[in-house]
Each structure stands twice: as C-alpha cells, then as structure tokens.
Structure 1
Amino acid sequence: MKLNCARLLMATAMLLAGASTAEAHIVAARLGDFYMGVVHPLTDLQDVVLWTATGVLAGTLGAAKGRWLIAVFPLGLLVGLSLGQVFSATSTQLSDAAMMLAIGLLLAAAAQVPTFMLCAIAFAVAVIRGAANGADLGPETDRLLFAAGLACVGYGAITLAMALTAVFTNSDGVASWRTIAVRALGGWIAAIGLMMASLVLAS
C-alpha cells in the first residue's frame, strides 16, 4: 500500500514538473480570448493543485479570514499576468513547488494562520500562477479579455474551494474525521511539492 502511494506521488510530481507549455492560441481560436482566460488555467495541473490547496487552507480557517481572498486572489492573478515575461519556466516551477510544500505543511499541521499571512500566501500563489499563464500567451492574444477571463475563473475557483471546504469540515457537527482527511490532503500536497522541487533541481 505504501509503495503504491509513493508511486502515485512520484507520478503526480513528474507530471507537474514536466508539464509542457499549453498551446493557448488553439483555445483562443475556438473560444475567444476571454474564454481562453477562463479555460487555460483549468488545463494546467499546477494551477489546479495550487488554487485548490489555497482555497482549502482558507476554508479551514473560517469565513471571516477566507472572505478576503475573494478580492486578493483575482488581484494577484492580474498582477502576475502583467509580469508574465519576467519569470523563467524553472523559477516558476520552483516557486510552485515551494508554495505547494508550504501550504501542504500548514494544512497538515492544522495551523491557525493569521489573516494577513493567509492573504500574503494567496497573493503570492496568484502572482506566480498569473505569471505562468501570462508567459504562455502569444502576441495575437487580447490581454485585456484574457485577464478578465482569468480573474473571473480565479474568483470562482477560490470561492468554490473555500465554500466546499467550510461545509465539509463543519457538516453534522462532527469534524474529527473530516479534519483528519484535510490534514492528510495537506500531507499529500506537501509531498508533491517536495518531489516536484527535487525533479526541477535535478534536471
């Protein structure tokens, strides 16, 4: 059982570290630049893992802290999108791995993160992933429409992840096994981040 879990973690880390750049212009040709902004991050495993992890962390801390991310996360995506050409692919992957490790450890430890730190973490994740999405864009892409789509999907994804986590951890007034499940998820996220960092540094 432990061997199978280790193999699954290794395969996931390799997929994340070795994911090829998405051909964003193909999506744009079919759906338009706004819809490309919506769909593009959902086709990237690193976006899915990090956005979900950030939303789960916020959801475990309660609505009073998590509601700040509704504004902070889309804003961070827009800032990162404007910096898309600044970061190299390697630095982005290392940053992704570091954020996965940090958020995973916070979830595994059931840490009570202050609101300011939660917002800083969410903003950092959003900037990193916004930059990664911006780096994939071709010169023919309407960046304003893409940015609008990216901000909308960021708002929806982070809000949905927070809401589902809050409902899951507080259902029926019995949170013990649910809390353990969230902490186990954090351990998996941290392990993926650690292995992803190792693969990037080894390449």
Structure 2
Amino acid sequence: MIAASRRISIAIGVLFAGVRPAGAHIVSLRLGDFYEGALHPLTDLQDLILWISLGVLAGSLGAARGRWLVLVFPVGLLTGLLSAHVLGTFAGGPAVNACMTLLVGLLLAAALRIPTLLLCTMAFVLAVTRGAANAGDLVPQTDRLLFAAGLAGVGYAVITLVMALTVTFRETGSPMAWHGIAIRALGGWIAAVGMMMTGLSLAS
C-alpha cells in the first residue's frame, strides 16, 4: 500500500514538473475597442439614468410609438460621436443632462401621451449629447469605428430591453391597475433625481 502511494506521488510529481505555462493572454487589457464602446456608457451614472428613463417613457407610450426609438436612439449616439470627432466639441453638460432627466421624469409622472415625433426628437437630442459625451475619453489609439459599433449596439440593446419590459409590465393590467401607478411613481423618483442633479450642477 505504501509502495503504491509512493509510486502515485512520484507520477504526480513528474506530471506537474513537466507542465509549462500555457502562454494564454488577454487579447486586450481594455477588452478591445468594441467592448470599450459597449461598456463605457454602462459605467456612467448619467448614461444609465437617462437611457433607462427614456426606455421607460417610450414603453409607457406603447409599442407603436416607442418602437421608433430602436432606430432613432442608436443613430443619435453615432451622430453625437461623429460630431465630437469632426467638430472637436462635446455637446451637453451636467446641467443639460440634469434638465433632460427632470423632463423625462415629469413626463412619466404626469403620464402625458406625447406625440411620436416629439418622443423621437427628444430621444435623438438626448442620444446626440450622450454620444458626444462618450467621445470625451477616447485616445488617439482607439479604433473609432469599433468604439462606435459598441456604443450603438449597447444603446440599441438597453433601449429595446427597457422599452419591451415596460410595455409588458404596462399591458399586464387594466389602465386603472397599480402597474400604471408604479410607472408614474418611478417617474416621480426620476424627476426628483433630475431636480437634485440640476441644483448640484447650478451650484458648482
């Protein structure tokens, strides 16, 4: 028994002694320019609040109106990214983002049925400002085409998923059910956040 255990120990030792490093490595420490474009807005609280708020607003208006944002929002992000690259300016700022958050929150809280054209215009302007803002951290070595593809892809995914979840949640009950009240309450919280952001941006 002891001899067998000794032979097993020797065999394991020889096996591990012959192991060499696999030489595996991460393709890019920054996860690649595509993934950088996709992950960058998800690490920014302003992007998260505005994108989710807009998706909820579009979903609360119904699929027929909100579906246009599936195209309008990514195009707006690309437009903002391109304008920042060509013009060298970054649209928007803390005050603009805060006012947009406040506006979207108030529209949700009031349950206003805004026209599709107005919704698309708001979404496009918001997307342009956030697309330009996301261009602020680009370095000369960044592949802008891959970054833009990642940014547009995550914008499409977030808006589509949030809008779809809101539409599903909204249509599971009657108009007088608690589902609509919950969406309006969420709008009130978003408006409160926007108001605080506006105050902080004006005070700074």
Q: Normalising by the residue count of structure 2, what TM-score does the alignment of the two structures yield?
A: 0.81
Deviation per CA, 1:25-82: give whole Å up to 9, x if none. Answer: xxx7331000111111111111111000000000011111111101000000001112
Indicate the residue corresponding to 2:186 in structure 1.
185
Does the C-alpha gap of structure 1 residues 115 and 138 become closer, same or farther in structure 2, counting only changes over 3 Å? same
Structure 2 unpaired stretches of 5+? 1-27
Matched-pair contact (CA < 8 Å) for 2:80–2:127: yes
Deviation per CA, 1:4-32: give whole Å up to 9, x if none. Answer: xxxxxxxxxxxxxxxxxxxxxxxx73310
Structure 1 unpaired stretches of 5+? 1-27
- How well do the aligned residues superpose, as a CA RMSD in angstroms? 1.4
Matched-pair contact (CA < 8 Å) for 2:173–2:179: no
Deviation at 1:86, TM superposition (A): 1.0
Map residues 50-61 of structure 1 onto 2, 5 A cutoff. 50-61=50-61
Q: Match of 2:49, as an amino acid?
A: V
Map residues 8-87 of structure 1 onto 2, 5 A cutoff. 29-84=29-84, 85-87=88-90
Q: Match of 2:37, as an amino acid?
A: G
Matched-pair contact (CA < 8 Å) for 1:169–1:175: no
Inter-partner Cα distance in structure 1 for 2:79 and 2:106: 26
Aligned residues: 174
Inter-partner Cα distance in structure 2 for 1:83 and 1:136: 15
Is 1:111–2:95 an aligned residue pair? Answer: no
Does the C-alpha gap of structure 1 residues 43 and 175 become closer, same or farther in structure 2, counting only changes over 3 Å? farther
Deviation per CA, 1:79-134: give whole Å up to 9, x if none. Answer: 1112334137xx41111101101100000000001000000111111111111101
Q: Equivalent residue of 1:171, what SS?
A: coil
Q: Match of 1:66, as an amino acid?
A: G
Inter-partner Cα distance in structure 2 for 1:182 and 1:151: 27
Deviation at 1:197, TM superposition (A): 1.2
Inter-partner Cα distance in structure 1 for 2:175 and 2:133: 39
Deviation at 1:172, TM superposition (A): 4.5
Deviation per CA, 1:150-192: give whole Å up to 9, x if none. Answer: 0111111100010000011111547521111111111111111
Inter-partner Cα distance in structure 1 for 2:90 and 2:37: 19
Q: Normalising by the residue count of structure 1, what TM-score does the alignment of the two structures yield?
A: 0.82
Detail structure 1 runs of 4+ shifted over 6 Å in the superposition. Answer: none
Is 1:151–2:152 an aligned residue pair? Answer: yes
Inter-partner Cα distance in structure 2 for 1:114 and 1:58: 11
Deviation at 1:135, TM superposition (A): 1.1
Inter-partner Cα distance in structure 1 for 2:98 and 2:137: 19
